[in-house]
Amino acid sequence: MSKVLFNEKTFEDLLDISKSLSSERDLDRLLDKILSEARRFTCSDAGTIYLVNNNKLIFMLSQVQTLFDRWGEQQTREKFKKFEMPITKQSMAGYAAITGMVLNIPDVNKISPDKEYKYNASFDEQNDYKTVSMLVVPMKNRQNQPIGVLQLINAFGEDKKVIAYTKSLERLVESLASMAGIAIQNAQLNQEIRNAHLDTILRLGIAAEYRDKETANHIRRMARYSLLIAESLGWNKETCERLLYAAPMHDVGKLGIPDEILHKPGVLTTDERETMQKHTLIGANILHHSRAEELVLSKLIALTHHEKWDGSGYPQGLKQKEIPIEGRIAAITDVFDALSSRRCYKEPFPEEKVIEIMKHDSGRHFDPELTELFLSKIVEIRSIQIRYQDTDADFDKLRNINALSPADLIDNNKNSQIKFDF
């Protein structure tokens, strides 16, 4: 157990952990790292992390070496689902969160009945596990408020026997928990900024479609179809997600097109068509010089989503692989949805007709490989259509401003975090 005493090596290790924690922006990965490091440092068999949110404790994850060995790590992790519980002093994690104090329990079966907290044996019972010693440490943010709880379970001594957590281990875990608290706060702030940023992107896209009298569902479907292609291409999660968030802005330039052209019920004249085509350049101009990576991609898509494989598209007349792949994807998904939906100038086509047009224009308008890939996903396409179906109410709201009612806008979920579900 010599490695757990405060010596120079321990400080170096703590510094390394601190650096590694502060560089992790993804909350789930960060929590996993915190727990692994805390277990490693204390030779603990198990551990759990809770986060505090709206007067609830959210169980985020557990790592249990004994169960990993018994069932395999992946299967064990899948068994532990996130859940919420009220914060009360009756649970040990709740007690630590409320009081800000560390609980160092040599044996959970011998907690004195006059304590406010109790040991809840349901985890042990459900998993055929035996908890003995526990160290329960609050993790605090910069404002010194508890934002989470780190629970370590069953410290191993020399001969793999469970021992109580020593005072020096307790101090060590307290230092680690205070670094962890700040890192968690940073990751949460980063997530909030990202959510706000992505939410703004979606809503700008909706603003453009609003003017176009299309529905917000058009861009949701189009973005989902684009994601479908990206996933089929085997792109990694970050790249797929970036496309999902960038695609909704493809027609943002329609904000700059006069009403009488944008809303014309019939076919456009040559001049009107020429003006209409400027929506690609207007969109790219709106998004020009942004340093946010989604907007850089949005600009590219706004500029290139009407280019055609055979070079007959606009505004640059690029052909084949001169057209960036994201533009080739958006061309397919945008037209597919335009054909399947009602527009001010056209009725929706039935599915067979849409597929026939897509196949006919494959190799002319569209990248043939990507078209084949997309059309092979018809089952997924249909479920996106069902999930993001246009209703008459959607159209009424867009066509008749008088149909908008303040009652529809009351937000019953003020306390919930920004959700970006589209």
Residues that bind ligand C2E (CB under 6 A): 264, 267-268, 276, 306, 334-335, 338-339, 343-346, 357
* Nearest-approach distance from CB 396 to ligand SIN, in angstroms: 25
If binding is defined by CB under 6 A, does position 235 make contact with ligand SIN? yes
In the bound state with ligand C2E, the residue whose beta carbon lies nearer, of 83 and 345, is 345
Q: Is 413 exposed, middle or buried (0-12, 13-18, 19+ CB in 10 A)?
A: exposed
In the bound state with ligand C2E, the residue whose beta carbon lies nearer, of 97 and 262, is 262
Q: Is 162 helix (H, G, I), strand (E, B) or coil?
A: strand
- x/- site string to Fe ion, residues 251 to 280, per CB under 5 A? x-----------------------------
184 binds, among ligand C2E, Fe ion, ligand SIN, none (CB under 5 to 8 A by kind): none
93 binds, among Fe ion, ligand C2E, ligand SIN, none (CB under 5 to 8 A by kind): none
197 binds, among ligand C2E, ligand SIN, Fe ion, none (CB under 5 to 8 A by kind): ligand SIN
Whether omega before 368 lies within 30 degrees of 0, making that bond cis, reads no
Question: Using the rule CB under 6 A, which residue among 111, 325, 373, 375 binds ligand SIN?
Answer: 325
Q: What distance in Å separates the CA atoms of residue 366 and residue 390, rounded to the nearest whole number?
A: 26
* Nearest-approach distance from CB 276 to ligand C2E, in angstroms: 4
Chain positions 174 to 213 lying near ligand SIN, rule: CB under 6 A, are: 193-194, 197
Q: What distance in Å separates the CA atoms of residue 338 and residue 348, rounded to the nearest whole number?
A: 8
Residue type, 365: H
Q: Is 110 exposed, middle or buried (0-12, 13-18, 19+ CB in 10 A)?
A: exposed
Secondary structure letter of residue 164 according to DSSP: P
Please choose, from the candidates 63, 85, 162, the residue with its C-alpha nearest in 3D space to the C-alpha of residue 93.
85
| Radius of gyration of the chain from its Cα atoms, rounded to whole angstroms | 28
- 276 neighbors 253 (Cβ within 8 angstroms): no
77 binds, among ligand C2E, ligand SIN, Fe ion, none (CB under 5 to 8 A by kind): none
If binding is defined by CB under 6 A, does position 373 make contact with ligand SIN? no
276 binds, among ligand SIN, ligand C2E, Fe ion, none (CB under 5 to 8 A by kind): ligand C2E
Q: Is 304 exposed, middle or buried (0-12, 13-18, 19+ CB in 10 A)?
A: buried
Q: What distance in Å separates the CA atoms of residue 195 and residue 207, rounded to the nearest whole number?
A: 18
* Nearest-approach distance from CB 375 to ligand C2E, in angstroms: 16
- x/- site string to ligand SIN, residues 268 to 307, per CB under 6 A? ------------------------xxx-------------
Q: What distance in Å separates the CA atoms of residue 302 and residue 321, rounded to the nearest whole number?
A: 17
Name the site residues for ligand SIN (rule: CB under 6 A). Answer: 193-194, 197, 235, 239, 292-294, 325
